[in-house]
Amino acid sequence: MIRLQTRGEASRVMALTAPLIAVTLTVVTGAILFEALGKPAGPTLHAYFIQPLSTRFGLSELLVKATPLVLIGIGLSIGFRANVWNIGAEGQLTLGAITGGALALAFYEVDSPLLLPGMLIAGTLGGMAWAAIPAYLRIRFNANEILVSLMLTYVAGLFLSYLVSGPLRDPDGFNFPESRLFHDAATLPTLMQGLRAHWGAVIALFAVIAAWVFLSRTILGFQLKVLGDAPRAASFAGYREPRLVWFSLLLGGGLAGLAGVIEVSGAVGQLNPSISPGYGFTAIIVAFLGRLHPLGVLIGGLMMALTYIGGENAQIAIGLPVSVTGVFQGVLLFYVLACDLLIHYRIKIGRPVGVKA
């Protein structure tokens, strides 16, 4: 008989090892899945998890994918800490890409060192504006921010499609729904010659450190944690919930917007309808995988980035279907949430011992 027994106090060891157990279980499940698909598990896992990390090109691609995941994951994790459930980071990313990208296109071939910083700011503001809608509706009408932010994602996606097939379409682009390619002054410089990894990775790393300091050292960060952990204690302390909800959503939206403009300026180089393979949603997994802690988000972001490029690599090398990547991410989130149980409970197998009947 398997029983769950409360630990009484949350286990710190388990809080750290639970994600590792989840990753292990995901890999085991993956191996079974590959065998079932008729692919040898060993080489497939190697193609998935090892090969991408063994080349400079692979590592650079890892950084490219991890940059938006970490940036968005940081913003979301801070909001989740405060029980503010922003599920629409994908839409906020899209808006950031639009506002930042539109600025780049408006100043096409203007060589100014101010253009790039201007784009980053415009992108951030775009994401914030999109997140302000659920924030306002929640505070004013008590509308559920999960639904509002999620639905706005689709609005943002269609808006982008409209723009790139209309006003922002490349005039020399044979009617493809794409903008012009950004010129050099509007492109984030790469970190190393010949590789795609760009300065966005440095910005993401900076965001990790800033968030860590923010959560551990500032009163505002503390207030967000209290609001999430014990809302009544927050009201006893006198923290103003509306202000904290506004802050959480604007921060999450701003970082998602920043990730959006960094993605189009650094990795994509233009506006098109497929600028993001769902980074805004994957970042939700990243936030939980990282235990809503900035350093955890950094690790989680790198891990999820690996599932993206590993999936692509396995698709090419072994011929796995592309949807395996999505399955992998879903399985991972499932195990992460399931393993959370181990933090507060221990598993006991067998009958209770020591009782003389």
By CB under 8 A, name the binding residues for another protein: 8-10, 217-220, 222, 225-226, 229-230, 232-233, 235-238, 240, 352, 354-357
Q: Which is nearer to another protein, 107 or 212 (CB)?
A: 212
Whichever of 114 and 220 has its CB closer to another protein, that residue is: 220
CA distance 242 to 251: 14
Residue number, 140 or 351, with CB nearest to another protein: 351
For 296, the 3-state DSSP assignment is helix
For another protein, give the closer residue by CB, 230 or 322.
230
Measure the CA–CA gap between 183 and 323, rounded to whole angstroms.
Answer: 34
What are the residues whose beta carbons fall under 8 Å from the beta carbon of 131, sequence distance 6 or more? 86, 88, 92, 149, 249, 250, 252, 253, 254, 256
| 214 vs 328 by CB, closer to another protein | 214
Provide the minimum distance between the beta carbon of 354 and another protein in the complex, in angstroms, as a whole number: 5
Instruction: Work out how close the CB of 45 gets to another protein at its nearest, in angstroms, rounded to a whole number.
Output: 37
Pick from 281, 333, 295, 266: which is nearest to 93 by CA? 281
- Nearest to another protein of 113, 238 (CB atom): 238
Residue 239: CB minimum distance to another protein, A: 8
Whole-number Å distance between alpha carbons of 297 and 37: 32
| Amino acid found at 74 | I
- Closest residue by Cα to residue 94 from 47, 149, 17: 149
Q: Smallest gap, in angstroms, from Cβ of residue 214 to another protein?
A: 10
* Amino acid in position 149: S
Nearer to another protein, 97 or 226 (CB): 226
Q: How far is the CB of 238 from another protein (least distance, A)?
A: 3
Select 196 or 225, whichever has its Cβ closest to another protein.
225
For residue 349, which phi and psi values (nearest 5 degrees)?
A: -110, 135
Four-CA torsion 38, 43, 46, 52, nearest 10 degrees: -90
CA angle 26, 304, 227 (to 5 degrees): 100
Name the residue nearer to another protein (CB basis): 106 or 237: 237
Angle 38-40-46 from CA coordinates, rounded to 5° = 135
Question: Of the candidates 93, 100, 54, 49, which has an alpha carbon nearest to the alpha carbon of residue 307?
Answer: 49
Q: What minimum distance in Å lies between the beta carbon of 8 and another protein?
A: 7
CB of 206 to another protein, least distance (A): 19
CB of 211 closer than 8 Å to CB of 294: yes
Torsion sign (Cα): 162, 164, 167, 173: negative
CB of 131 to another protein, least distance (A): 23
Contact 278, 149 (CB under 8 A): no
For residues 348 and 7, give the distance between their C-alpha atoms in angstroms, rounded to a whole number.
11
177: three-class secondary structure by DSSP: coil
- Nearest approach in angstroms of CB 353 to another protein is 9
